[in-house]
Amino acid sequence: MQIWGVTGGLGSGKSTACSFFKEQGCEIFDADTEAKKIIFSSEMVRQKLVEGFGGQILEKGILSKTALANIIFDNFRNQQFLNHLIHPLVTEEFLTRRQAVKADVYIMDAALLFEARLQHYFHKTILIYTEKETRIKRALERGNLSRAQIEQRISLQMDEEQKKKLADIVIENNGTRQDLKNKINELMQILV
């Protein structure tokens, strides 16, 4: 079994790429989804978040997704606090699930793959690279964040040019969904 890490910044098309990998028979571990599950289900994590950020992240004793997001994406220090708490737990879950994978390729879909220094877990790291303005446009089309919020979140992620230097494979995604799908299919034919 090959283990790959797929990464890309906000609006890059990383999750879309992973859906195409899944169509090709790969098993996908969505690190962001798993992180959210851990954040909102673990009492230990809840306690550490309250210790770190105070009661302002609670609403009637329950973690508020909106309040937490506002604090996390406010600055690099807050994001680092959360990441240092959550990344080891997400990585542990990824490794535990690996033992049950039947697919030829097991992929971690992780926006912060390089930031978390996870690349040593993978046979290949794949960056879905998209120009910044295209990323912003795509993120705006989702309708849940303002341009200022999108730009703030992008500023907290590693620069895409730096990620290009770290990635084993870079897939340019400035075209259509079909263009991206074709590139994924070609890559699978080469690597598997």
Render pLDDT for 93-124 as a digit per residue (tens, 0 to 9).
Answer: 999 999 999 999 999 999 999 999 999 999 99
Q: How many domains does the chain have?
A: 1
In this predicted model, what pLDDT tens digit does every residue of 146-177 receive, in sequence order? 999 999 888 888 989 999 999 999 999 999 99
In this predicted model, what pLDDT tens digit does every residue of 127-140 receive, in sequence order? 999 999 999 999 99
Residue 25 within any structural domain of the chain: yes
Given this model, what pLDDT does residue 139 score? 92
Residue 68 within any structural domain of the chain: no
Q: What share of the chain in percent tops pLDDT 70?
A: 100
Full-model pTM = 0.90
Question: Cα–Cα distance between 148 and 74 in angstroms, integer?
Answer: 11
Residue 21 within any structural domain of the chain: yes
Selection from 134, 122, 111, 143 nearest residue 180 by Cα = 134
170: left (phi over 0), alpha (psi -120 to 50) or beta: beta
The DSSP string of 118-173 is: -GGG-SEEEEEE--HHHHHHHHHHH-SS-HHHHHHHHHTSPPHHHHHHH-SEEEE-
Residue 165 within any structural domain of the chain: yes
Residue 113 within any structural domain of the chain: yes
What the block records as the tokens of 91 is 């990585």
Q: What is the CATH number of the domain that holds 14?
A: 3.40.50.300
Question: Cα–Cα distance between 29 and 5 in angstroms, integer?
Answer: 10
In this predicted model, what pLDDT tens digit does every residue of 29-84 receive, in sequence order? 999 999 999 999 999 999 999 999 999 999 988 899 999 999 998 888 999 999 99
Question: Cα–Cα distance between 32 and 27 in angstroms, integer?
Answer: 15
> 154 lies in which domain range?
2-34+88-191
Residue 58 within any structural domain of the chain: no
